[in-house]
Amino acid sequence: MSASPLLDSPQPIARFQTRLQARRAFAAALRPLFATPGNLTGRAPRLLRYALGRLLGTVPTLFAVITLAFLLVRLAPGGPFDQEQTLAPEVKANLDRAYGLDRPLPEQYLRYLRGLAHGDLGPSMRLRDFTVNELIAVGLPVSLTLGGLALLLAVGAGIPLGVLAALRRHRAADHLLMGLAVAGIAIPAYVTAPLFALWFGIHLRWLPVAGWEPGRPSDLVLPVVALALPTLAYLVRLVRASVLEVLSQPHVRTAEAKGLSPAVILLRHVLPPALSPVLGYLGPAAAAILTGSLVVETVFGLPGMGRFLVQGALNRDYTLVMGKVIVYAVLVIGLNLVVDLLQGLVDPRLRYPRRA
């Protein structure tokens, strides 16, 4: 292979060769991953080491979440048994003993951790006869359905619209989409949700205003759309910026010079690198959607995880609030981890430790 006459140095070819070598080395590094997963300290495969590192990295975060939730809830003035009429001291002492609140704080913390390790979030302190596990088991499927569908809608509509805006840059469609996106980001779910209920539910009577019956999908349309909109709008902008950046890069020009069709350039050379930041945004997006679902559930009267959370915080229902915050945190942290791993899989640069 000889150097092209247009290039006055053999450097691009040298670079190509080192890339080939790097690719071979990576393939060689991957091989033991499928053969023997052992020997992690020595020449462990990068991908496995990366995954393990990320997995271990969630431990301090989880621990911080649990400790912070415990401390914040306990530092709050008042307790779960303060009511309008004060209880007799003997009754309160009995209640405190029954729930273990008479013990010193460190001991309560260790007990809570032990329960948590067994997957036991304890009894609710205000909703008698319910354990926190039971309350979460009721709410979680509703919230996950709502949040999952909203995330799906945001990604499914946000990516194509963002690509469209980038391809139609500075034309009417682009300006329209960007204007809508700014509005979509600025207007939160707790504004759109009641407005949707007002317009589609009360004025037009197309869809139910509120309520939840299992197996009635029309109940979910308005909440899902209201929940997805801010994330969708953000994704449109993110995808547009990302696609525009990739479009200006030399490898796209090369592909054009080779005479590839626009569709092939878009699908093979533009979208894969452009969607990497989108993958990274999915973690924060999931967090935003979970947060938003708190309000959307309230507005539409859905029996999800958000139910009783605010009330529980005001009533000092220690175990309920801690349990729900921890479950939310685990969901967010877990999703971030999955996204991290996917990014490592897609983008080889991330598998190597960054040099400052």
Contact between 313 and another protein (CB under 8 A)? yes
**CB nearer to another protein: pick between 64 and 91:** 64
Q: What is the largest CA-CA distance in the chain?
A: 95
Among 147-155, 160-168, 268-276, 317-325, the segment contacting another protein (CB under 8 A):
317-325
- Among positions 54-73, residues that touch another protein (CB under 8 A) are 60-61, 64-65, 68-69, 72-73
Listed in sequence order, the residues at least 6 apart from 67 whose beta carbon sits closer than 8 Å to its beta carbon are: 109
Token output for 234: 């953000």
- Among positions 100-139, residues that touch another protein (CB under 8 A) are none
Residues 292, 192: contact at Cβ < 8 Å? no
As measured in angstroms, the least distance from the Cβ of 310 to another protein is 5
As measured in angstroms, the least distance from the Cβ of 294 to another protein is 7
Among 28, 76, 105, 346, binds another protein (CB under 8 A): 76
Cα separation, 31 vs 45, in Å, equals: 8
As measured in angstroms, the least distance from the Cβ of 37 to another protein is 27
DSSP labels, 259-282: T--HHHIIIIIIHHHHTHHHHHHH
- Among positions 228-287, residues that touch another protein (CB under 8 A) are 241, 283, 287
Among 7, 20, 152, 310, binds another protein (CB under 8 A): 310
Cα separation, 208 vs 237, in Å, equals: 32
Q: Is 220 exposed, middle or buried (0-12, 13-18, 19+ CB in 10 A)?
A: buried
**CB nearer to another protein: pick between 154 and 333:** 333
**CB nearer to another protein: pick between 45 and 293:** 293
Q: x/- site string to another protein, residues 148 to 187, per CB under 8 A?
A: ----------------------------------xx-xxx
Listed in sequence order, the residues at least 6 apart from 83 whose beta carbon sits closer than 8 Å to its beta carbon are: none
Among 110, 113, 195, 267, binds another protein (CB under 8 A): 195
Residue 242 to residues 57, 163, 280, 284, 339, Cα–Cα distance (Å): 28, 9, 12, 17, 18
